[in-house]
Amino acid sequence: MRLEGQVAVITGAGSGIGREIARRFAREGARVAIADLKGEAAEEAAGEIEAAGGSAIALTMDVTDEAGVQAGIERVVQHWGRLDTAIANAGIQIVHPIEDFPYEEFKRVVDIHLGGSFLVTKASIPHMYRQKSGSMIYMGSVHSHEPSPLKSAYVAAKHGILGLSRVMAREGGPHGVRANTICPGFVKTPLVEKQIPEQARSLGIPEEEVVSRIMLGRTVDGEFTTVEDVAEVAIFLAGFGSRALTGQSITVSHGWYMA
């Protein structure tokens, strides 16, 4: 059990990558708070962990609502008395060419990814600073390093997350708090399933070509990254035994991006 005794909060954990991280964290001995905009999905994910013998609570949380994020993190600390790891994972995707990108939609993407990561950090670190230990983990993307057409908002937000994570590493260091970013390649979750027909329409190409050329064309083996792959990196970062590993981004993408 690599995370025995830890308390973790994971945003966007009602689905996809966050949900698998929550499941795997619980299996490694962590108590997990599952935060999601969709309260029912969070309840379901927490219920699944409890049914398997783990310890979980569900939080209905919009990561763009500062008061709601503060209240959610407060609840976790009241419930379990501490907070060891916070994973800012909630996210959405909206694709358009820049000239057609509605500004409201651009702001929404940036607000959820970057604003949400900031608010989860702001609410979590006072507890970690008090403990003199903790780990902030951000869900970046290969798009924290590489651009793709149609994804101006997402790529800008994911690049911004790297900056936030690095500042957090600097500010948190003297308090014993680490900060790192995970950068996955394409993972087949609802977020990606939705993009396949959208990109096919925007680029005027068949859906199979979106998968084989746009999504996986630059990997070393044409394979999707899996939710399990990403969860394994999260466990490694959360369970790392010293303060040496901080300010980093770890890419898990079948070699799409090589740092």
- The smaller minimum CB distance to ligand NAD, of residues 131 and 226, is found at 226
Contact positions vs ligand NAD (CB under 6 A): 11-12, 14-18, 36-38, 41, 61-64, 89-92, 112, 139, 141, 184, 186-187, 189-192
117, 161 in Cβ contact below 8 A? Answer: yes
Least separation in angstroms between CB 227 and ligand NAD: 7
Distance CA 154, CA 160 (A): 10
At residue 237's C-alpha, the angle toward residues 236 and 238, to 5°, is 95
Least separation in angstroms between CB 6 and ligand NAD: 21
Considering the candidates 103, 129, 138, 154, report the single residue annotated as catalytic: 154
Least separation in angstroms between CB 120 and ligand NAD: 10
Among candidates 65, 81, 50, 63, which has minimal Cα distance to 10?
Answer: 63
- The smaller minimum CB distance to ligand NAD, of residues 18 and 134, is found at 18
- The smaller minimum CB distance to ligand NAD, of residues 37 and 77, is found at 37
Is 129 a known active-site residue?
Answer: no
- The smaller minimum CB distance to ligand NAD, of residues 77 and 139, is found at 139
- The smaller minimum CB distance to ligand NAD, of residues 4 and 248, is found at 248
Task: Name the closest residue to ligand NAD (Cβ).
Answer: 16
Least separation in angstroms between CB 103 and ligand NAD: 18
Least separation in angstroms between CB 62 and ligand NAD: 5
Catalytic residue list: 154
